[in-house]
Amino acid sequence: MTLYADVRVRRGAFDLSLDLTVEPGEVVALLGPNGAGKTTALRAIAGLLPLGAGRVALGNEVWDEPPRVFRTADRRPIGVVFQDYLLFDHLSALENVAFGLRARGVDKHAARAEALRWLDAVGLASYARSRPRALSGGQAQRVALVRALATSPGVLLLDEPLAALDASTTLHVRAELGQHLSRYEGRTLLVTHDPLDAMVLADRLVIVENGRVVQEGRPTDIARRPRTEYVAQLVGLNLYRGTASGTTVQLADGGSITLAEPASGPVHVAFPPTAISLYVEPLSGSPRNTWPAVVTGIEQHAHTVRVRLDATPTGPSTLLADITPAAVADLHLSPGQRLHATLKATEIHTYPS
C-alpha cells in the first residue's frame, strides 16, 4: 500500500501544493529551506492540519479528502518524531514508549513489556525509568523514535529529527537513525532542511521551495543533475561511501580520498564543490588528494561555474567543483579536457555510515 499525499493548504499568502508518494520500506526526504512548507505538509499528513484541498490516503484508506473525509490524527496509523521530540516530561521513558500502545488499547503489562523491548533495541533499557529531562539529546531522540515506532505504524513521519542535537552527537545519531529506518518496513517521510541528512538517510528526495516541488529523484541523481540553481546550491555536495582505514578512505566506486583526521570502518565522505581546485599542470611535490580528472560537464550558475569531473581511477568517479568564471577563462575549460583536481583535506567531513 502506497502513501499518497496531494497536499494543498493555503495560509494567508502562503500556498502549499505538493504531490508525494511513499512506498512501503521507502524513505522519502522532503528537503527545502525553512518556510518552504515542509512541516505544514507533514502536519497535514499526520492529521494535525486539515487539507484545504487534495487528498491523503494510505492505499485505499482515505485519511483526508475535503470536504467529506477527515480522519483525526489519533485514528491514523502513524508515528511522528517531532523536532524537539515532545516527550512527556511527567512520564518515564518507558511510559512514553508505552503511551501509544496503551492509547491503542494494549493492556498495561503487555504495553510495558513491549515498550521495554523497544528501548532495549536502541540500547536504552537501563534508562526505562528515567524522566525525559534526565536524558541526553541523542537518548531523547531515540526514545522519541521508538515511541513513534512502538505502535507499528504504517507511516513514520520525522520532522527535522536531528535539528535539536549538537554537532558532535549528530554524526552518531544520524548513522543510528539510518539503521533503524532501513529496518523499518513502513513508509517513512523525513522533513529536513539539511541536505546531508536527506542524502544520507533517504532513498528519494523531494525538494520543496515556496510550497512547490522543484525536483525529486534519487539523491545521487539530484546531486548530479540539479534542475535549478537553488537545488544545485542545496545538494551540490560531493558525497561518497567508502571504507576508512587510518587517514585513507577507499571509495565504494573506486578511487581513494585522504582525510585530515583518521577514521575507521564504513563512512560517508562529504565535501562542498568549493573545496576543489583545478589546475592545468600537475602541482609540484605530491599533495594528497590530487587526481587527474576529465571534464564531463560545465554549468553556469549565478556567481560560479559548476564543473563536473571524472577522476577515476585514482579519485571519485563524479566530482563537482565550483570555480569562478575568471578561472574558467584561465583554464580554457571545455568538456573532455584533462585537468588536475585538488581537494583540501580540511574541508572534508566524514560520517560513520
Partner 1 sequence: MSRRGRSTTGRLPVVLLLPALLGLAFLLVPLIGLLAKAPWSTLPSRLFSADVWQALRLSLLCASLATVVCLLLGIPLAWVLARASIPGRGLIRALVTVPLVLPPVVGGVALLLVLGRRGLIGERLDLWFGFSLPFTTAGVVVAEAFVAMPFLVISVEGALRAADPRYEEAAATLGASRWLTFRRVTLPSIAPGVVAGAVLCWARALGEFGATITFAGNLPGRTTTMPLAVYLALETDPDVAVVLSLVLLLVSVVVLASLRERWISGLR
Residue 185 binding partner 1, by CB under 8 A: no
Residue 90 binding partner 1, by CB under 8 A: yes
Among 37, 100, 242, 315, binds partner 1 (CB under 8 A): 100
Report DSSP letters for 276-325, one per residue: EEEESSPPSS--TTEEEEEEEEEEE-SS-EEEEEE-TTTS-SSEEEEE-H
**Cell numbers representing residue 238 in the block:** 560531493
Q: At what angle do helices 93-103 and 137-149 cross, to 10 degrees?
A: 20
Q: Which is nearer to partner 1, 79 or 236 (CB)?
A: 79
Residue 129 binding partner 1, by CB under 8 A: no
How many residues sit in the footprint of partner 1 (CB under 8 A)? 24
d(CA 340, CA 338): 7
Residue 47 binding partner 1, by CB under 8 A: yes
Residue 333 binding partner 1, by CB under 8 A: no
Q: Which is nearer to partner 1, 89 or 261 (CB)?
A: 89
Of 150, 91, 84, 164, the residue nearest 119 (C-alpha): 150
Q: How far is the CB of 85 from partner 1 (least distance, A)?
A: 9
Binding span for partner 1 by CB under 8 A among 74-82, 232-240, 319-327, 345-353: 74-82
Residue 107 binding partner 1, by CB under 8 A: no
Residue 110 binding partner 1, by CB under 8 A: no
Rg, Å, the chain Cα set: 23
Contacts of 285 (CB under 8 A, 6+ apart): none
Among 82, 118, 184, 271, binds partner 1 (CB under 8 A): 82
Residue 132 binding partner 1, by CB under 8 A: no
Of 149, 151, 127, 154, the residue nearest 138 (C-alpha): 127
Q: Which is nearer to partner 1, 82 or 351 (CB)?
A: 82
**Sign of CA pseudo-dihedral 257, 260, 266, 270:** negative
Q: How far is the CB of 162 from partner 1 (least distance, A)?
A: 18
Among positions 142-181, residues that touch partner 1 (CB under 8 A) are 147-148, 151, 157
Q: Which is nearer to partner 1, 72 or 250 (CB)?
A: 72
Pairing between β-strand 290-300 and β-strand 338-343 as defined by DSSP bridges: antiparallel
Q: Which is nearer to partner 1, 153 or 315 (CB)?
A: 153
| Residue 271, strand partner residues | 238
Pairing between β-strand 78-81 and β-strand 155-159 as defined by DSSP bridges: parallel
Of 77, 179, 65, 169, the residue nearest 122 (C-alpha): 179
Of 201, 96, 199, 187, the residue nearest 141 (C-alpha): 96
Residue 61 binding partner 1, by CB under 8 A: no
Q: Which is nearer to partner 1, 84 or 330 (CB)?
A: 84
Q: Which is nearer to partner 1, 75 or 218 (CB)?
A: 75
Q: Which is nearer to partner 1, 90 or 332 (CB)?
A: 90
Residue 72 binding partner 1, by CB under 8 A: yes
Q: Identify the helix (H) or strand (E) that includes residue 330.
A: helix 325-331
Footprint of partner 1 on this chain (CB under 8 A)?
46-48, 72-76, 78-80, 82, 86, 88-90, 99-100, 103-104, 147-148, 151, 157
